[in-house]
Structure formats: C-alpha cells, structure tokens
Structure 1
C-alpha cells in the first residue's frame, strides 16, 4: 500500500487541465503548441534511447500526445496523470488510433513506491512547472528508472526573457496558450533542475533549448536554454 497521503498536485492546475480535457487532440486548440513540439520532444528522446521494445512511463501524460508517439515507435508505454478527464480522452483516442497505452490515474510518487526500477525510459514533459514540489517529482522519476535507464524532462527557465516570451508573449500577445497557463514563480532554471536531478542519482547528459520563431511560426531545438528546454539524464548504475 502506498504511503503517499497527499498527492503532489495543485487543485487549481488540475481543474484547469480537466476543463480543457476534451481539446487535447484538437491540433488547433489550446494544445496546439504541444502538437507542434511533439516531434521535437520525440526526436530528442530517440537521440539517446531507442524506444522499440523498451518499457516507458510518461509522467504527466495528459491526453497522451507523447505517450502515443512513443508507443507507435514500439515501446510498451504507461501514461500516468492525476486528471481523470484527460486520461479518459487519452484512452478514447487510443481506441480510435489503434495505439495501445496503459493509462493510470496515479501520482508519480505512489507509482515509484509500487514500481521502482521498472522502466527503461521515464519522460516528464511540461509538468514540473505545474506542481508544488518539482523535486519530489524528479526524485520519483529517478526511482522509476532502471539502473542505466534514461529520464527526460522539459520545462521553462525562470528569468526575465522567459517571463516575456513564455507568459507575456505566448499567453497575452501571440495567444499561443490560454492566459494563466503558467505561474512564473514555478519556472525552474536549468541549474536548479540539474541540481534536483543530481540529488536524485541522475547524471545530466544533454541540455537543449526549444525556441519558437513568431515569423516562421516554427519551433526548433538549439543551444538556447533560456526559455523552454529539454534535459536528458542517465540513471546511475549503482542506484
């Protein structure tokens, strides 16, 4: 039985994503940016970990956009989230697409108690900036990974440029995201996330920036990690 009594979740954040759940697979909805960056996220993961035949858990999977993509590459994917409405949408879409993902409504900390060291690959994308205790999520992701396994994160850095682009620009000027999507105080600098990862027994292998060009309306990966960024970490063999 899990000893996790209080899930690491913000009720307001959960309600916000639950309200939008029916729009997860609409590529022109509030989730349009996730659809557009998904090939970049998938490519970044595959640069480090071959997904075919791997056991993968997607933490904070939402409606299953990344989960389905990894399953389509031949991975056995478990998607976990605390928004049941989002998971219902994910399950329905899986039935329509024919892509199999095991979706579970469970906190990552509770899953880590239940299935420690069970996964070759752990992904946690665009979630850390929405939870009260990101270090707890990072530690749980590490516990879920097998020794020698891979853990991938993506989130937003905390600095004036990130505030201008990810909040003012994306939410108020360009309208890429609904207003109030992000709380600037919860953004994580790469150095802060790297420290959390090291404390959890993870080695930082690669840090990549993900930027949006408003003129071409295209996202790309590069070395500029001042706003959105991805992090590839390797679980220490001795853990």
Structure 2
C-alpha cells in the first residue's frame, strides 16, 4: 500500500469517527459547509449520472450528498473506522456509496481514467505529499472530466482564523486538528495542478462569520478555498 499518509493524522480522525454524522460534534463545520461545496461542484459538473470518486471521504458526508444528486459514488480513505461509519450511515440512509480502504495513488493504478468527477476536500493539508494526491486525482479522471480540491491557505490570516480562532478561541475544532506548516497557498496548489497536466478553471473562497455563525462562498481565498480543475481532451 502506498504510504503517503501520516499515521498520526489517520489516528486522530479515526478516534473521532463515531461522531462524524453528529452535526453538533467536531465535524459540525463539515456539515455546515457541505451544501455550499456540493452546489459549487454540481454547478460546474452536474453530478446526475456521473461516475464520481471522493478521495479522503472520511465518514461520507460529501460522498452521500453527491450520491443523492444522482451520481454513482466511490469513497476512498485510509481510516478503517471512518469507512465503517460511512458504510453504516449509507445502510441507514439508503443512499448507495461504494467505500474502499485504499490510498489515492493505489486507486489511480487500479482505475485510471474511470471517473467523470474527482473530489478531494479538506485532505491535502493532512498528507506528507499533497502533489502526489493531485497526480492521483489527475490519473483517475477521464479526459474532459472535472477535479475539485479544497484546502487552507498559508499566511498570517489563515493561521489566525483556522488555527488560533477555530481551535483555541471558538473551539469549533479539536486542538491540533491543523498543522500550519502543511497549509498550501493557491499558487502552490495551482502549480501541483499544472504539473499533473490539469488546468485550473476556477477558484472560490469559503469564509465563516463568527457572529452570524454562517459560512459563505466568495472571492476571499485568504483562509479556506476551493479549486475547480479539468483534464484537457487529448
């Protein structure tokens, strides 16, 4: 198995896996932003009837929501506990998703060019080699297909909001959820995308208002941001 993973990161999320579908838990931010990211993806790459893979799917919040849009969804992750939670929730909800314990790079070797849409959200900042994940996503997607990433910018504002604010002040996330050194600037991510022979089609910021407790999509990529890419047809 490919080892582009931090065992401590996998353990961290595995220990919280049983709380993945509790919208009042540490995963509340994922529940809150999911409708925004889902609609952004669906607007750019209508999901109905598409073959989709979600890299780093965790407990399946995004994967299930894409399946509800009519996509045939595969979710992959390296946390066995998170995948068990995802499988159980899929059975309870009746929303069919195929889950698999496998690294993105190994999946790319098995199912290259099989997917219309590839998503990898809130994961790149948790792995040792994010560029390798981007290359795997580029391998998995069909020519003419779409790839979506989301991650956290690396600057003073991102440190203040995503680490100090979210983990220590507002306590929205457990302390130690994020490692500032692993944050990725839009320029760096765009470089990984181009090196993987994908093209950048759009960039969107995701911000949180602590007063209203509402997330919104806008052009502010200073902290959280999403990137839409596509694979040119040869």
TM-score range, shorter chain: over 0.9
The SS at the match of 2:150 is strand
Residue matched to 1:77: 73
In 1, Cα distance between the equivalents of 2:172 and 2:83? 23
Structure 2: gaps of 5 or more residues = none
The SS at the match of 2:32 is helix
Matched, 1:149 2:113: no
Runs of 4+ in 1 over 2 A off after TM superposition: none
In 2, Cα distance between the equivalents of 1:17 and 1:102? 20
In 2, Cα distance between the equivalents of 1:7 and 1:218? 37
Residue matched to 1:37: 33
* Aligned residues: CA RMSD: 0.6
Matched, 1:166 2:162: yes
Deviation at 1:237, TM superposition (A): 1.0
Deviation at 1:47, TM superposition (A): 1.5
Paired positions, count = 234
Matched, 1:180 2:172: no
Deviation at 1:7, TM superposition (A): 1.7
Which of 100, 103, 109 is matched with 1:107 structurally? 103
Which of 8, 32, 38 is matched with 1:12 structurally? 8
In 1, Cα distance between the equivalents of 2:63 and 2:209? 26
Residue matched to 1:52: 48
The SS at the match of 2:88 is helix
How do 1:170-209 and structure 2 match up within 5 A?
A: 170-209=166-205
Residue matched to 2:116: 120
> TM-score, normalization: structure 1?
0.97
In 1, Cα distance between the equivalents of 2:128 and 2:232? 26
In 2, Cα distance between the equivalents of 1:43 and 1:177? 24
In 1, Cα distance between the equivalents of 2:2 and 2:80? 17
Matched, 1:220 2:208: no
